Amino acid sequence: MARARFDIRSQPGFGTIALFTFALLYLPIVTLVVYAFNASDSLSSWGGFSLHWFAAAAQNQAVQDAAWRSLIIAASAATMATIAATMAAIATTRTPPYPGLGFKYAFINLPLMVPEIVTAVALLIVFARVKVWTGYSGLGYLILAHTAFCIPFAYLPIRARLEGMDQSLERAAADLYAPPWQVFRRVTLPLLRPGIIAGFMLAFVISLDDVVISEFVKSGGQDTLPTYMLGQLRRAVTPEINAIAAAFLALSVVLVTIFFFINRKEA
Amino acid sequence: MPEPAAVPDTRIAVECRGIVKQFGEGPNALRALDDVSVAIREKEFFTLLGPSGCGKTTLLRMIAGFEYPTEGSIRLHGEDIAGLPPFKRPINTVFQSYALFPHLTVWENVAFGLQMLGRPKAEIAARVAEMLKLVHMEELAQRRTDQISGGQGQRVALARALAPAPKVLLLDEPLSALDYKLRKEMQIELKRMQSETGITFIFVTHDQEEALTMSDRIAVMSKGKVLQIGTPWDIYDKPAERFVADFIGETNFLATTLLGIEAGIARVRLPSGVEMSATLAEGYVPSGAATLVVRPEHARVVPAGGPTADQPSGQLSGTVENVVYFGTDTHIHVRLDEGFTFMVRQQNSRSQSCGVTVGERVGIVIAPDAAQVLRD
């Protein structure tokens, strides 16, 4: 039978490959989550349903500290990155094109392409020196480092939103006696909000998730949740790790869902 | 058609002098406006008319403050405003896309300008109510702007721009998105609002019919230049250049030889050898050849070999090529013996048809004073 057109879904093996891909993506996560509810302290044999490990993780002071630290870093870094990214996006979209503008776009997005380990080592060296000079060794370094690598992530959705915005709206506001700051506050900012929220959420999740840079930049006793988990894996592994990971996953899913609904309502 | 009464107040509201706008540099430079000068009178309905790309919108944006001239000055009631940003100019704009703020209600849109001017709350409320009443939108005040129709959006855009009582209102093809019937209604509405508010309107359009019906005066633009400024009557009946005559309404051009000029009246000879007289366009510089313009409704078709003797204004002859019925009138296309086509527009009457058939030999009588020599 001659086919009217090529249909990839009817090719041999398509279903198998699709199934395999989904299994690869989700089976490990499902296993991890399931074993978080394991009553026994084994990662491989099922000993009945229990919330024991969640309770253990919640009562573990080190986990609490790491989680709290992660949230503080993510919230501060995402806030600063979003502010910087918003300003960068306005500066690069609300200007007539000039030579070098394309270079600036690339310059803002380049950190996405730089291998994270390179950034991490570079920050380690610089901050080590700064720590000696200033004597300060608080969370500031982690926040600063996270802010830096979150900026391009926050920039992307904000710039996309600004470019999609009808510029005659801002012109209309200026025409109706709004000086530049009022144009921004009364028109640009409200219309940009979904983009800013998207940028913030993205930066927040990226920061929350980071291991490599945090591992290099943190001082002693500054574990974030991911670096704490990494540290635990080197020692005795109990389903407590599963419980932490499952809770972490739940938080991410909730954040992404919130972001999705805010965006759909406002876009 | 009688000449309309002179504009009541002839003081100048906006004066653009020697405006040049150049985009780009060097050999790729584009002159969007090339030495444009217009003076718009107070309380006038002034139209910038021309095809897309003629520079009319650029000029409007310059008066609004969204573009700055490369050369030249813009004066508002004598004060040079060319360097002022838009928010410092007492001029408001109705945008082609309306540009209503989507996150605000109709009421908030109309109040925006007054709020930015820092007017007291009570005054804003009263003024917004007055404006919404002017555009018949009182009932939809609390609607979001994405919940109203295109025609209603148009009214809100007008109310928003009129609310701060600007000295000049700029309208950038505001009716182009509306369907035919709504557009006709809005044309009348706009004229009403202009006379009620007494604000100077500067209107941009590429629609010559719209320009003729609404304007006190029209500036016809092409390729960054102003070709002619005048009343609709001037522009239609005394076009100075071929472009103006061609762009406004339908018209016939006849290539003739200039025989002489006497007391402002030219004597010309058609290729057929027939001689006739014609008025001269303003600023005409005599040369050997002269292009004659004749509006289709200023000529009529007569049976061939008709009474030439008592029609001294000249006569053409040819064969009827096409007869097109338009309801109110009929267009008769006649292929002249000289080879080109001449169109005659004849008013229809109920009792009889236009009386000619395709292929028939006819003569064309041009009404006295109907022919004009163009400037080019």
What mean pLDDT comes out for the span B272-300?
83
**Euclidean distance between the first and the last CA atom of chain B, given in angstroms as a whole number:** 26
Any B CB within 8 A of A191 CB = yes
Q: What is residue B166's predicted lDDT score, i.e. its pLDDT?
A: 93
What is the spatial distance between Cα B290 and Cα B373, in angstroms, rounded to a whole number?
6
Q: Which of A201-210, B2-11, B139-148 has the lowest mean pLDDT?
A: B2-11
The partner residue sitting opposite A166, judged by closest CB among B97, B117, B161, is: B97
CATH number belonging to domain B250-373: 2.40.50.140
CB within 8 Å: B86 and A172: no
CB within 8 Å: A168 and B102: no
For residue B20, how many other CB atoms are within 10 A of its CB?
A: 15
What is the distance of C-alpha B109 from the center of its chain? 30
Q: What is the phi/psi pair of residue A141, to 5°?
A: -65, -45
- Residues from chain B that touch A176, judged by Cβ atoms under 8 A, are 87, 92, 112-113, 116, 160-161, 164
Any A CB within 8 A of B86 CB = yes
What mean pLDDT comes out for the span A99-120?
88
What is the spatial distance between Cα A138 and Cα B75, in angstroms, rounded to a whole number?
61
What is the spatial distance between Cα B21 and Cα B18, in angstroms, rounded to a whole number?
10
Secondary structure percentages of chain B, helix, strand, coil, to 5 = 25, 35, 40
Q: What is residue B189's predicted lDDT score, i.e. its pLDDT?
A: 86
The partner residue sitting opposite B99, judged by closest CB among A166, A179, A190, is: A166
Q: What is residue B310's predicted lDDT score, i.e. its pLDDT?
A: 45
Q: Which of A111-125, B50-64, B358-372 has the lowest mean pLDDT?
A: B358-372
- Residues from chain B that touch A187, judged by Cβ atoms under 8 A, are 101
The partner residue sitting opposite B87, judged by closest CB among A174, A187, A191, is: A174
What is the spatial distance between Cα A32 and Cα A246, in angstroms, rounded to a whole number?
7
Asked if residue A265 has pLDDT above 70, the reply is no
Q: Which two tokens stand for residue B369?
A: 């004073």
Q: What is residue B6's predicted lDDT score, i.e. its pLDDT?
A: 47
Chain B: residue nearest A176 by CA? B113
Q: To the nearest whole number, what is the mean pLDDT of chain A?
A: 88
Q: Which of A167-171, A180-184, B27-31 has the lowest mean pLDDT?
A: B27-31
- The architecture in CATH of the region A60-266 reads Orthogonal Bundle (1.10)
Which pLDDT band, with edges at 50, 70 and 90, does B9 fall under? Answer: very low
What is the spatial distance between Cα B107 and Cα B99, in angstroms, rounded to a whole number?
15
Q: Which of B35-49, B52-66, B358-372 has the lowest mean pLDDT?
A: B358-372
- Residues from chain B that touch A171, judged by Cβ atoms under 8 A, are 66, 86, 93, 95, 99
Q: Which long-range contacts (CB under 8 A, 24 or more apart) does B74-80 make?
A: B74/B14, B74/B15, B74/B16, B74/B17, B74/B19, B75/B12, B75/B14, B75/B15, B75/B16, B75/B17, B76/B13, B76/B14, B76/B167, B76/B168, B77/B11, B77/B12, B77/B13, B77/B167, B78/B12
Q: What is residue B184's predicted lDDT score, i.e. its pLDDT?
A: 87
The set of residues, in sequence order, having a beta carbon less than 8 Å from that of B295 and lying 6+ positions away, is B236, B237, B249, B250, B251, B252, B345, B370
Chain A: residue nearest B164 by CA? A176
Any B CB within 8 A of A173 CB = yes
Which pLDDT band, with edges at 50, 70 and 90, does B117 fall under? Answer: very high
Q: Domain locations in chain A?
A: 60-266
* Residues A258, A72 contacting (CB under 8 angstroms): no
The partner residue sitting opposite B95, judged by closest CB among A168, A182, A187, is: A168
Chain B: residue nearest A192 by CA? B103
Chain pair A-B, CB pairs under 8 angstroms: 60
Which pLDDT band, with edges at 50, 70 and 90, does B375 fall under? Answer: confident
Q: What is residue A44's predicted lDDT score, i.e. its pLDDT?
A: 74
Is the torsion defined by CA of B67, B71, B75, B79 positive or negative?
Answer: positive
Q: What is residue B313's predicted lDDT score, i.e. its pLDDT?
A: 41
Asked if residue A127 has pLDDT above 70, the reply is yes
Any B CB within 8 A of A98 CB = no
The set of residues, in sequence order, having a beta carbon less than 8 Å from that of A37 and lying 6+ positions away, is A49, A50, A51, A53
Closest-CA distance, B99 to chain A, in angstroms, reads: 5
What is the spatial distance between Cα A62 and Cα A68, in angstroms, rounded to a whole number?
10
Q: Which of B342, B100, B216, B135 is nearest to A191 (CA)?
A: B100
Asked if residue B353 has pLDDT above 70, the reply is no
CATH number belonging to domain B12-242: 3.40.50.300
Q: What is the CA radius of gyration of chain B?
A: 25
Any B CB within 8 A of A174 CB = yes
Q: What is residue B354's predicted lDDT score, i.e. its pLDDT?
A: 64
Any B CB within 8 A of A169 CB = yes
Q: What is residue A60's predicted lDDT score, i.e. its pLDDT?
A: 87
For residue B286, how many other CB atoms are within 10 A of its CB?
A: 11
Q: What is residue B17's predicted lDDT score, i.e. its pLDDT?
A: 92
User: How do residues B184-231 score in pLDDT, each as one tens digit?
Assistant: 888 888 888 898 888 999 999 999 989 998 999 999 999 999 999 999
Closest-CA distance, A252 to chain B, in angstroms, reads: 30
Q: What was the ipTM of the complex prediction?
A: 0.80
Asked if residue A75 has pLDDT above 90, the reply is yes
The set of residues, in sequence order, having a beta carbon less than 8 Å from that of A54 and lying 6+ positions away, is A36, A243, A246, A247
What mean pLDDT comes out for the span B110-125?
95
What is the spatial distance between Cα A133 and Cα B19, in angstroms, rounded to a whole number?
61
CB within 8 Å: A190 and B103: yes
Q: What is the CA radius of gyration of chain A?
A: 23
Asked if residue B234 has pLDDT above 80, the reply is yes
CB within 8 Å: B164 and A168: no
User: How do residues B287-298 score in pLDDT, each as one tens digit?
Assistant: 778 888 899 988
Percent above pLDDT 90 for chain B = 39
Q: Domain locations in chain B?
A: 12-242, 250-373
Q: What is residue B305's predicted lDDT score, i.e. its pLDDT?
A: 61
Any B CB within 8 A of A177 CB = yes
Asked if residue A242 has pLDDT above 80, the reply is yes
Bridge partners for B47 per DSSP: B203, B218
What is the spatial distance between Cα A85 and Cα B310, in angstroms, rounded to a whole number?
84
CB within 8 Å: A169 and B99: yes
What mean pLDDT comes out for the span A237-253?
87
CB within 8 Å: A172 and B103: no
For the whole model, what pTM was predicted?
0.80
Which pLDDT band, with edges at 50, 70 and 90, does B307 fall under? Answer: low
Q: What is the phi/psi pair of residue B94, to 5°?
A: -100, 115
Closest-CA distance, B158 to chain A, in angstroms, reads: 12
Chain A: residue nearest B66 by CA? A171
For residue B139, how many other CB atoms are within 10 A of its CB?
A: 9
Q: Which of B209, B211, B221, B290 is nearest to B256 (CA)?
A: B290
What mean pLDDT comes out for the span B38-53?
93
- Residues from chain B that touch A168, judged by Cβ atoms under 8 A, are 95, 97, 99
User: How do residues A41-59 score in pLDDT, each as one tens digit?
Assistant: 777 778 788 888 888 888 8
**DSSP element (H, E) containing B252:** strand B252-262
What mean pLDDT comes out for the span B3-12?
57
Chain B: residue nearest A97 by CA? B24
Asked if residue B264 has pLDDT above 90, the reply is no
Which pLDDT band, with edges at 50, 70 and 90, does A9 fall under? Answer: confident
| Cα separations in angstroms, B242 against A183, B8, B144, B290 | 45, 31, 48, 11
The partner residue sitting opposite B99, judged by closest CB among A171, A177, A183, is: A171
- Residues from chain B that touch A191, judged by Cβ atoms under 8 A, are 102-103
* Residues B333, B325 contacting (CB under 8 angstroms): no
For residue A77, how many other CB atoms are within 10 A of its CB?
A: 27
Closest-CA distance, A169 to chain B, in angstroms, reads: 5
Q: What is residue B309's predicted lDDT score, i.e. its pLDDT?
A: 45
Q: What is residue B271's predicted lDDT score, i.e. its pLDDT?
A: 78
CB within 8 Å: B112 and A182: no
CB within 8 Å: B64 and A179: no
* Residues A82, A151 contacting (CB under 8 angstroms): no
